[in-house]
């Protein structure tokens, strides 16, 4: 390991205490090796990034350290003593906490209870001190700068808030090692900043943090060292400052990429979708815009601005109280998703775990779920046909899997997302709504998504793209709309949208009229 001879923060690496060592960690799932002979040292008091494409093995490694999975081979040493992490509970007792990629929570229990569960290890019949739980929860959430009623149930919280509760829980655990698996994906820039501030503070107290992210700028801003995984192998461990972005990307995907995002050319046609005065009290107000055939309209804004609510209203998941939706110039009534599908709409939702996939069903069934008539031409399902159609999509979308019969829940996030996109493409939609399509998807796969989205627009489809990643939004969109607190606050033509102008419009209580004339 090259890093072991380098210096960190002016300190010789040799002096640095090693908190956790992994030696020869190997993991197989159903005979497939997803992690191969990984050696890794984590120092006490460092923030260490794990980078790699989806399926590269970083989440698996994290889960092994945190006791969720057991290694097929290899050993873990904590403070030079061999440890067996048999369960998440065992990990917690050893001082290792994992913040999962998809926040796990108990939706019926209050925030304060979610924070406390599993943290204390007292007597089973010990009393729950509700007042104390509440006080603790309030102070934890205050540390994270969140004002929220901690006695309300988790159900109904945004993913960002759920994630902040997870982070608060890790804070309270007093763990020596906190592993964060893509913690920032749903967070706003301000929340990310708070998280980073706290992470640095924890590091300065001598705790270690493992940070898994796809956002290079975050890794650069936060992490002392990076370890790069590719195809289940550890490729390199280096000090962050010694690597350029291009080098990191090359190590991750094994080839050079020029710029993440392809330029996208388009010829726009007729108006495909026009919404007028769409209002849902408490959620969004008076939303009007048009999307033309072949056009990608980006919808930016902070998390919680109401973008997803608009998308859900258009698709009939939670219809608007007033306003009209017109498809190809005809005003249509969309009261439920089936109406939207009949009008040629497709919707790839943000929270795929809840709204997108049928977790326990095979990939093939997930892909063909929206096109029953294709796989059951005479009313009875033909499994051969289902498989053929699914395999065709798997090939086209480059979905990585063991078998189309595999439950989709076993695939990595990016591959699940591809399968959902494949499902909707089978319906041959004329209008596609993509809500954070690349959330939790790594750079290599992102590039594939961008190409696909571009190609879909080029084939005459109208696309509404909701994204919290500004570079992505700006690069892909022909027009960028911005929402803030339920209102449309910005409308920029491609050339006029910049990170600054979009963010300016997205910040609450400041209306910005874009100098774009595109609002026709």
The answer to whether the beta carbons of residues 300 and 506 sit under 8 Å apart is yes
DSSP letter (8 states) at residue 384: H
**Angle CA 175–68–233, to nearest 5:** 95
- List the structure tokens of 235: 């490729």
- Contact between 108 and another protein by CB under 8 A: the answer reads yes
The answer to whether the beta carbons of residues 154 and 109 sit under 8 Å apart is yes
- Which of the stretches 107-115, 232-240, 386-394, 445-453 binds another protein when contact is defined by CB under 8 A? 107-115
- Contact between 197 and another protein by CB under 8 A: the answer reads no
- Which of the stretches 150-158, 251-259, 263-271, 419-427 binds another protein when contact is defined by CB under 8 A? 150-158
Output Rg (C-alpha) for the chain, integer angstroms: 24
The residue from 127, 258, 335, 395 that contacts another protein (CB under 8 A) is 127
Cα(217)–Cα(46) distance, integer angstroms: 18
The residue from 86, 128, 142, 246 that contacts another protein (CB under 8 A) is 128
The residue from 10, 122, 384, 495 that contacts another protein (CB under 8 A) is 122
Q: Would you say 113 or 224 has its CB closer to another protein? A: 113
- Contact between 117 and another protein by CB under 8 A: the answer reads yes
Cα(26)–Cα(71) distance, integer angstroms: 6
Q: Would you say 361 or 513 has its CB closer to another protein? A: 361
Give the dihedral of Cα atoms 513, 514, 517, 520; nearest 10 deg: -60
Q: Would you say 121 or 500 has its CB closer to another protein? A: 121
Q: Would you say 149 or 428 has its CB closer to another protein? A: 149
- Contact between 152 and another protein by CB under 8 A: the answer reads no
Residue 164 C-beta: closest distance to another protein, Å: 16
Distance from the Cα of residue 127 to its chain's centroid: 38
- Contact between 361 and another protein by CB under 8 A: the answer reads no
Strands 431-435 and 345-348: parallel
- Burial (CB count within 10 angstroms: exposed 0-12, middle 13-18, buried 19+), residue 14: exposed
* DSSP per-residue codes, 197-223: HHHHHHHHTT-EEEEE-S-HHHHHHH-
Give the dihedral of Cα atoms 132, 138, 144, 147; nearest 10 deg: 170
Question: For the window 316-355, what string marks contact with another protein as x by the rule CB under 8 A?
Answer: --x-------------------------------------
Q: Would you say 2 or 158 has its CB closer to another protein? A: 158
Residue 379 C-beta: closest distance to another protein, Å: 30
Question: For the window 30-69, what string marks contact with another protein as x by the rule CB under 8 A?
Answer: --------------------------------------x-
Q: Please, where are the H alpha helices in 205-352? A: 216-222, 245-253, 307-314, 337-342
- Contact between 142 and another protein by CB under 8 A: the answer reads no
Q: Would you say 291 or 305 has its CB closer to another protein? A: 305
The beta strand positions in 328-364, using DSSP E, are 330-332, 345-348
Residue 130 C-beta: closest distance to another protein, Å: 8
Q: Residue 207: CA atoms inside 13 Å, Cβ hemisphere, count?
A: 22
357 φ, ψ (degrees, to nearest 5) = -105, 155
The residue from 10, 124, 384, 495 that contacts another protein (CB under 8 A) is 124
- Which of the stretches 32-40, 113-121, 468-476, 503-511 binds another protein when contact is defined by CB under 8 A? 113-121
The residue from 24, 197, 277, 282 that contacts another protein (CB under 8 A) is 282
Q: How many residues bind another protein (CB under 8 A)?
A: 36
- Which of the stretches 70-78, 152-160, 262-270, 368-376 binds another protein when contact is defined by CB under 8 A? 152-160
- Contact between 156 and another protein by CB under 8 A: the answer reads yes
Q: Residue 41: CA atoms inside 13 Å, Cβ hemisphere, count?
A: 16
Residues 6+ apart with CB under 8 A from 404: 362, 363, 364, 367, 387, 390, 391, 394
- Contact between 290 and another protein by CB under 8 A: the answer reads no
The residue from 59, 60, 92, 487 that contacts another protein (CB under 8 A) is 92
Residue 318 C-beta: closest distance to another protein, Å: 5
Q: Would you say 151 or 427 has its CB closer to another protein? A: 151
Containing 68, the helix (H) or strand (E) segment is: none
- Contact between 125 and another protein by CB under 8 A: the answer reads yes
Residues at the interface with another protein (CB under 8 A)? 68, 87-89, 92, 100, 104-109, 113, 117-118, 120-128, 130, 155-158, 280-283, 309, 312, 318
């Amino acid at each position: 390991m090259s890093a072991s001879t380098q210096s960190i923060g002016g300190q010789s690496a040799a002096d640095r205490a090693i908190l956790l060592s992994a030696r020869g960690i190997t993991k197989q799932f159903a005979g497939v090796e997803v992690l191969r002979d990984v050696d890794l040292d984590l120092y006490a008091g460092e923030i260490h990034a794990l980078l790699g494409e989806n399926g590269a093995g970083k989440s698996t490694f994290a889960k092994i350290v945190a006791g969720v999975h057991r290694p097929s081979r290899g050993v873990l040493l904590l403070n030079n003593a061999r440890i067996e992490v048999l369960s998440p509970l065992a990990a917690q007792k050893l001082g290792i906490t994992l913040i999962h990629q998809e926040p796990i929570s108990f939706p019926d229990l209050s925030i304060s209870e979610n924070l406390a569960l599993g943290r204390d290890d007292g007597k089973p019949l010990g009393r729950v001190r509700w007042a104390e739980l509440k006080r603790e929860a309030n102070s934890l959430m205050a540390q994270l700068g969140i004002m929220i009623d901690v006695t309300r149930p988790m159900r109904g919280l945004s993913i960002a808030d759920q994630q902040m509760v997870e982070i608060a829980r890790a804070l309270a655990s007093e763990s020596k090692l906190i592993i964060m698996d893509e913690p920032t994906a749903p967070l706003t820039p301000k929340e990310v900043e708070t998280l980073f501030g706290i992470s640095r503070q924890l590091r300065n107290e001598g705790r270690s943090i493992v940070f898994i992210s796809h956002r290079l700028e975050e890794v650069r801003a936060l992490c002392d060292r990076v370890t790069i995984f590719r195809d289940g192998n550890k490729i390199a461990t280096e000090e962050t400052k010694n690597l350029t972005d291009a080098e990191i990307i090359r190590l991750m995907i094994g080839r050079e990429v020029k710029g993440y995002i392809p330029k996208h050319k388009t010829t726009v046609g007729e108006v495909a979708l026009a919404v007028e005065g769409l209002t849902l009290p408490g959620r969004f107000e008076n939303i009007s815009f048009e999307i033309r055939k072949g056009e990608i309209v980006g919808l930016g804004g902070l998390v919680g601005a109401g973008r997803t609510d608009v998308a859900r209203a258009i698709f009939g998941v939670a219809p608007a109280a007033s306003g009209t939706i017109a498809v190809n110039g005809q005003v249509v009534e969309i009261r439920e998703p089936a109406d939207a599908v009949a009008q040629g709409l497709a919707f790839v939702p943000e929270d795929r775990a809840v709204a997108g996939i049928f977790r326990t069903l095979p990939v093939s069934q997930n892909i063909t779920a929206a096109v029953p008539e294709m796989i059951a031409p005479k009313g009875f399902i033909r499994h051969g046909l289902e498989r053929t159609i699914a395999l065709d999509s798997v090939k086209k979308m480059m979905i990585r899997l063991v078998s189309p019969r595999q439950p989709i829940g076993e695939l990595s996030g990016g591959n699940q997302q591809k399968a959902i996109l494949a499902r909707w493409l089978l319906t041959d939609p004329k209008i596609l709504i993509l809500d954070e399509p690349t959330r939790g998807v790594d750079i290599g796969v992102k590039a594939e998504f961008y190409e696909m989205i571009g190609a879909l627009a080029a084939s005459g489809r109208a696309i509404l793209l909701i994204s919290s990643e500004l570079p992505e939004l700006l690069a892909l969109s022909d027009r960028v709309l911005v929402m803030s607190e339920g209102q449309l606050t910005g409308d920029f033509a491609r050339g006029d949208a910049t990170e600054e102008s979009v963010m300016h419009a997205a910040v609450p209580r400041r209306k910005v009229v874009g100098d774009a004339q595109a609002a026709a």
